[in-house]
Amino acid sequence: MDNNTISAFHITKRKADILKLNTSKLYKWHIPKELRDDPIQKGDIVLVDAAGTQSKVLVMDVFREDFEETNRRYKKVVAVIERAPEPKQPIN
């Protein structure tokens, strides 16, 4: 089963590797089928449709949500801007 929904915070400012987030509300977006081949993961930065414009958001969670059960529709993810860095493996 494909994950088809993300929850994310809006990025308000970015300097080098430091992100400033608007954490007042966690929003949700729909992942279109064409973006599900290369799965979006926590920590990715994606471009989404938001309030008549497009906005960059930081993905906090990726999950499956069935429209038939929730009866909710979300705006869509447009593109993946930046992938989360791979976690460093601990050295034993």
pTM, full prediction: 0.87
Total count of residues recorded for the chain? 92
Residue 20: pLDDT band (50, 70, 90) is very high
Would you state the pLDDT for residue 40? Answer: 95
Would you state the pLDDT for residue 54? Answer: 96
Residue 4: pLDDT band (50, 70, 90) is very high
* Distant-in-sequence, close-in-space partners of 46: CB < 8 Å, separation ≥ 6: 6, 8, 29, 40, 56, 57, 59, 77, 78, 79, 80, 81
CA distance 32 to 43: 19
The residues spanned by each domain of the chain are 5-80
Note the pLDDT tens digit of each residue in 82-91. Answer: 998 877 777 6
Residue 60: pLDDT band (50, 70, 90) is very high
Chain centre to alpha carbon of residue 67: 18
Would you state the pLDDT for residue 18? Answer: 87
